[in-house]
Amino acid sequence: MSRSPIYRMLYTRWPRSKAKGECGYTALLPVPADLPVFLDFAVENLLRQDLTHLREVLVIPDQEERDYIDLARQKIRRLEDKVRVRILSMRWRDKAVARFAGNPSAYHFLQLYTGICAAEAGDMLFHDADFFMRPGDFLSRRYELMKTEGRSVLGVNPRQAKFVDGCVHLTATWEMFAAGDWLRRFPPYFHKAQYFRTRSGKSHFDTTLYPQYLSSPDEIGWRTPEAGDYVHFNQVISRYRHFSEGNRESKRADLKLLLISILSDAFGTDGWRYKLPTRRDWQQLVEHMLAVPKLAREQTAYYAKIRGRVEELLALGVLDGAVQDGIREGFAPFDKLLGWANQKQSVVAVTPK
């Protein structure tokens, strides 16, 4: 049974906007409450950016964990020296809907909904916790470009959807700027990833894509950055969420969980107990995969893509030397097992599926 009627019933209208007429944008940080290392990522990213137009940062955990809130307050202290930061909690109703839906897409929509309702600046940045930017003016340049071109939406890369009535002007949600009045022009549930009816039939739209489909192409834009300007580890959080709920989709998902394990160890766990396999478990898993020739070929190639992207991350200059050393040390035994030898390959534009 489709759960879409729940969203149509509960998320038809926006509450009154809290925007104070400030020029600039609010950064929305939907983060997983059981993976505090992703807040470390966001803080490190923002601290190294030109924050001229950033008015506030809203940290929005997907679950209510008291220990996480206390730890998050410690992690954001350095950022608070530069910009106003608030940690939001979803309403009990929204948390109940997310638990009932039981999928990462529902949590992500409701986290964004919570942030948009609370935002005090006129525009929004949807920041992905697994997105890393080269230090400098990556954000300020893109925000200024959106305003100069008169766009309602400016993204990083296109989401061509020719299967939907020839529509080719859509842009992906991650690291997307959007005008608050454009977001509120549509009922909240329109922004939820789900199926909608179109002229050509029933089509699935990811988060915010249906309102983009309904908008004039002139309102929606994207500018793909130069190679080496950013690194994006797609679907890491959703992979983890499936794993934590007992749905281990595939062996490939495990390699993205290995990425989380090594990054969290490198940043320091702060005493947090991550619900992930131990390093010994990882080695046994990899050895098991290598014992099956077809699986070994697939996973060795897949590991090379992830590992190459990690090297792109280290080259960005976002992480300090101690963290970089910890990441390389963490990957070292798996590099040996999977035959990865720091191949010089560009993987910024490649998304492991």
Residue 273: the pLDDT is 81
Question: What is the pLDDT at residue 250?
Answer: 45
Exposed/middle/buried for 99, CB within 10 Å: 0-12, 13-18, 19+?
exposed
Our CA dihedral for 150, 153, 154, 155, rounded to 10 degrees, sits at -170
Residue whose token pair is 């964004």? 112
Nearest to 123 by CA among 99, 153, 95, 160: 153
Q: Is 321 exposed, middle or buried (0-12, 13-18, 19+ CB in 10 A)?
A: exposed
Query: The dihedral of CA 242, 247, 250, 254: what is its sign?
Result: positive
The pLDDT value recorded for residue 344 is: 45
Using CB atoms within 10 A of its CB, is residue 2 exposed (0-12), middle (13-18) or buried (19+)? exposed
Query: Are 33 and 63 within 8 A, CB to CB?
Result: yes
- Please give, one letter per residue, the 3-state secondary structure of the chain: CCCHHHHHHHCCCCCCCCCCCEEEEEEEEEECCCCCHHHHHHHHHHHCECCCCEEEEEEEECCCCHHHHHHHHHHCHHHHCCCEEEECCCCHHHHHHHHHHCCHHHHHHHHHHHHHHHCCEEEEEECCCCEEECCECHHHHHHHHHHHHCCCEEECCECCECCCCCECCCECCCCEEEEHHHHCCCCHHHHCCEEEEECCEEEEECCCHHHHHHCCHHHEEECCCCCCCEEECCCHHHHHHHHHCCCCCCHHHHHHHHHHHHHHHHHCCCCCCCCCCCHHHHHHHHHHHHCCHHHHHHHHHHHHHHHHHHHHHHHHCCCCHHHHHHHHHHHHHHHHHHCCCCCCCCCCCCCCC
Q: Check if the beta carbon of residue 30 is closer than 8 Å to that of residue 59.
A: no
**Residue 105 tokens, joined:** 């897409």
pLDDT along the chain (353 residues), means of 10: 74 93 92 90 94 97 84 93 95 91 88 97 94 95 97 90 74 94 97 88 89 95 90 84 65 74 87 80 84 85 92 93 94 91 47 35
* pLDDT of 162: 59
Spatial separation of the C-alpha atoms in residues 137 and 126, rounded to whole Å? 17
Which domains, from first to last, does the chain contain? 4-222 (3.90.550.60), 233-338 (no CATH)
Burial 213-248 (b: 16+ CB within 10 A, else e): bebeeebbbbeebeeeebbbbbbbbbbbbbbeeeee
